[in-house]
Structure 1
Amino acid sequence: MTTSDLVGLRIKTVRRQRGLSQAQLAHPELSDSYVSLIESGKRTPTPAVLELLAQKLDCSLSYLINGVTAEQMEDIELALGYARLALENGEVAEARTRYTELLANNNLTGLTALRQETEFGLAFAAQASGDFDGAIAILLRLSEEELPADRRVEIASNLCRAYRESERLTEAVEVGEQMLSSTTRPAWNDLLVELGAGLLAAYMERGDLLRARQFAAELLNAADALGTPRSIVAANWMASNTASATGHAEEALSFAERAMAVQLETGQPGSIARMRLAHARKRLLARPQEAAAVRDVLRGAIVEFEQTATSTVERARLLVELARAECMTGDLDESVEHADRGRGLVPNTASALRAEAELLLARVYGSVGRMDQAERQLSSVRDSLSPLPDSRRSAATWYATAETMEQLGDSDGAVDAYQRALACAGL
């Protein structure tokens, strides 16, 4: 049924409930033939006519338009507001429950925009809790519907990220490139720059560093032309990641510090928390002598992450990075504790992050002479990495695994891991 059909059917139903004929409803402002055409869906009433009919039928305008009463609409909007608030506050499980309950509300069925917003929120909550497959299924279903241009870009951006975080890099690239090369896409705006940032991340993780370098420059130009905080943060942050991936550590920090400065002034708490973690990781890589200062920043970030809309995967990543800093400063007991906690938070879909945590544990155990535990962790690293597709990230972790095996005296295992690293790098 079309919208006009549904509106006409509601008018007809309420008219009959009130015991009115079409002529009685029409008189004196309208003709009974016009009312008949409206009820049959052959005419779309103007807003003024709809308001007049609602008054004459003694029902709410909201009911005639949407099929729900004003009170029901208010309840739906209130429930949606609570779900959004839970997600913004980092209460991911609560948000997911509230969005799911809303979708079970039959009154939401005819409210297309609100139903789409609810499904999008549920996909975001699923992704934040590490259920990438669930998020992807919802986003793909939404992408088949008629959507506003901005919402379509947001869905593509989240779909690109969900594919990337679940190691499905080819699909992540396809989603981003399809949207950005579309003839119907709008001119560069904040949402498109953020989608481009996600595509750039997929390029790098897949090992397309030349393409990544070129595209990073394109994004920077687009952001500079826009001059908006969101685009500047996204483009500079990804330029930083690209510089880091291509061995330009100090250049990477320079881009990152520009992005961080803008984010601190204009960003949301969750975004600031995530960027603080990523910035700390860059400092560890570029300036290992600052490990103690980075460790203190990351320890302070634990509460910040718990109080903001960060995902389970992001909290796991924070703990693993903190463990790395503690290992570098010699706080080995603390390093083991945080690496183990981080590994425990990693969902099954984030095998690469689990491998990082296990590798870190292997190194710490090896450094204190607990060789049996170190070897068990290295075995777990191999189990986590083996099913992953070839990518730059997998290659780096295999290489680090090989170095650790070599340090522990496992020459044969090290040779195999080096070969796997070369294969992942396409060599």
Structure 2
Amino acid sequence: MAENHPEGARSEEAVEIGRRVLRLRTEQGLTQRQVAEPAYTAAYVSTLESGKVRPSEAALRHLAGRLGVGYEELVTGRPAHLATDLRLRLTDARRALATGAPEDAAALFSALHEEAVAHTLVEEQAAALQGLGDCLLESGELTDARDCFAATERLLADQPLPVRVPAIRGRATAHLLTGELRYSCYLLETTLDELNASGLHDPDALLLLYTASIAPYMDMGAHARAAHAAELALALAPSVSDPALVAHMHRGVARTLIAEGRTAEADASLAKAQELYRHLQIRTELAHCHWMRGYVHAQDGDLEGAESELRTARDMLASKRAALFTVQVEVELADVLRRRGKADEAEVLLRPLLTSGAAGEDDGALGAERGAVHAGGAHRLLGLIAEERGDTDSAEEHYCAALSLLERSSAAGDVADLCRLLGDLLRRTGRVEAALDAYRTGLGHRAAPGTTTLGPAPATPPM
């Protein structure tokens, strides 16, 4: 049979294949003639091993058979079924994140990422980085999480937009938790517009984006936009097969129902989410359901039920070492404790959660760059406790600290509430002009929720 001797300079690929053939042949104690016959000559194998020729597909398949390896392994150097094995282990790492501590799962994802890089498996690299970003998000390492999601997007730059949506959603969530509500909305809305403009109406991607947008909309006071996103998410749900996505949708929709005073429907929505998360054994998300059910009970005036649900959520998150979410629940638990007349207990819970925002913040701290909205909430609660004790100076200090955090985050509804509290305090202490300024600031945030910081809503996709 004629041998294939393509002309041209020694290519890097030809050199790598030649080295691989030489290594495999010598490992098995075979001569060049034994590998070559009957289709090729020993001289051809010698030329190939020196990297002077890039063999044809037919030659590669012949050599792979003689050397006892797969065609892909001979061409790429990757062991047979490596990609499949990596994907299975990525699934195991996902399960570890769902049921265990994020840092333990992070170690698995990091090792898998290194292995995928070593074998140039781009999709598996991206999946490992996405998982690592989710771990960092859960443990509250928000800057590192953002970097992981951004790296995932770069790896998938040539893929269709729906493939990149989980990474974009992760980055938006990191910005939300940092307190950058407006930028979180911007990321989600521009992606929705790009999906719709390109005709890529992928139900999973759309549901993920609409559900993710509910939280920043609510925190910014854009309740109508949040309700519209929830309505679209509900319409998309029947087209989505992933139960985790559907459960997350039910949890997001519950927030809009609570805001509308439809607490019974919100509780029913959370019950659906809980059932799905329990079946999927996703403990962090199950804890989030207890967290939100605690909020529902608090809205209904059932403070004892609220305390029970919030303590359950806190214990579950603490057992998973989900540090940021744990301290956020503790802020809401402290609010319930204060309302139940346990101000001292609430204060003991709150004070360790706050720092000056310096670089030395520990895992249990909230601040301007980490859980800013809840940090503002903690200062607000400490201000209320101080005011109830008659310590107006301390109350004013906490209200001002809360206002600074919440204004920076564009949390319009919370800012308006803070301005009312601060204005009332200033008026009672005889500073009428300062009180009027506080009230005016609050009214400015309350006048048109969301419209002062958000542009036009993204286009509605065809259903």
- SS for the counterpart of 1:153 is helix
The C-alpha deviation readout for 1:193-250, integer Å capped at 9, x for no partner, is 13211123333334433333333222222224558754553444333322444xx21x
Cα distance, 1:13 vs structure 2:
0.9
- 263 and 28 in structure 1: CA distance in 2 versus 1, 3 angstrom threshold: farther
Q: Does 1:352 align with 2:376?
A: no
Structure 1 match to 2:173: 161
Quick check: 1:384 aligned with 2:405? yes
> Partners in 2 of 1:96 and 1:283 — Cα distance?
35
Determine whether 1:126 maps to 2:136: yes
Q: Percent same amino acid among aligned pairs?
A: 19
Give matches, 1:20-35, under 5 Å. Answer: 25-28=35-38
Deviation at 1:410, TM superposition (A): 7.0
Is the Cα–Cα contact under 8 Å of residues 207 and 391 in structure 1 kept in the other structure?
yes
Partner of 1:421: 442
Structure 1 residues 419, 243: CA separation in 2 closer, same or farther (over 3 Å shift)?
Answer: farther
Q: How far apart are residue 416 of structure 1 and its match?
A: 3.8
1:112 is matched with which residue: 104, 112, 122? 122
SS in 1 for 2:236: helix
Aligned partner of 2:103 in structure 1 is 93
Asked if residue 330 in structure 1 is aligned to residue 341 in structure 2, the reply is yes
Query: Match of 2:323?
Result: 312
TM-score (norm 2): 0.73
In structure 2, the partner of 1:16 is 22
Q: Name which one, 1 or 2, has greater alpha-carbon Rg.
A: 2
Once the two structures are TM-superposed, the CA of residue 29 in structure 1 deviates from its matched residue by 5.3
Cα distance in 2, alignment partners of residues 407 and 301 from structure 1: 39
Q: Please give the secondary structure, in 1, of the residue aligned with 2:237.
A: helix
Contact 1:399 1:418 in 2 (8 A): yes
Question: Is the Cα contact below 8 Å between 1:346 and 1:354 reproduced in 2?
Answer: yes
* Contact 1:363–1:404, Cα closer than 8 Å, also in 2: no
Matches within 5 A, 1:133-148: 133-146=143-156
Residue 185 (structure 1) aligns with: 200
Q: Which deviations, in whole Å up to 9, do the C-alpha atoms of 1:132-190 show, x marking residues without a partner? A: 3322233223223337666422112212222322333343233323433422524323x
| Contact 1:93-1:125 within 8 A present in 2 as well | yes
Q: Distance in 2 between matches of 1:177 and 1:213?
A: 15
Contact 1:233 1:262 in 2 (8 A): yes
Change (3 A) 1:262 1:123: closer
Does structure 1 retain, via aligned residues, the 8 Å contact 2:258–2:266? no
SS in 2 for 1:405: helix
Correspondence for 1:261 among 264, 267, 272: 272
Q: Which residue identity does 1:276 align to in structure 2?
A: H
- Rounded Cα–Cα distance in structure 1 between residues aligned with 2:242 and 2:121: 33
Unaligned runs of 5+ in 2: 1-10, 355-363, 449-463
Contact preservation (8 Å) 1:351, 1:385: yes
Matching residue within 399, 402, 414 for 2:422: 402
Which stretch has the larger CA shift, 352-361 or 339-348?
339-348
- Aligned equivalent of 1:300: 312
Q: Does structure 1 residue 239 correspond to structure 2 residue 253?
A: yes
Q: Could you tell me how far apart the structure 2 residues matched to 1:164 and 1:158 are?
A: 10
- Of 53, 56, 64 in structure 1, the residue corresponding to residue 63 of structure 2 is 53
Residue type of the alignment partner of 1:313: L
Aligned-partner residue type, residue 395 of structure 2: A
One-letter amino acid of the counterpart of residue 154, structure 2: E
Amino acid at match of 2:332: E
- d(CA) in 2 for partners of 1:22, 1:199: 63
Q: Distance in 2 between matches of 1:398 and 1:29?
A: 83
Deviates more, 1:27-36 or 1:205-214: 27-36
Give the TM-score normalised by the residue count of structure 1. Answer: 0.79
Report the secondary structure of 1:345's partner residue. coil
Compared with structure 1, are the counterparts of its residues 163 and 397 closer, same or farther at alpha carbon in structure 2 (3 Å cutoff)? farther
Q: Which has the higher contact order (CA 8 A, sep 6+)?
A: 2
With over 3 angstroms needed to count, the CA separation of the structure-2 counterparts of 1:60 and 1:382, relative to structure 1, is same
**Would you say the 8 A contact 1:237–1:256 is kept in 2?**
no
The number of aligned residues is 412
Return the match for 2:293 from 271, 279, 283: 279
Per the alignment, do residues 332 and 227 of structure 1 end up closer, same or farther by CA in structure 2, a change over 3 Å counting?
Answer: same
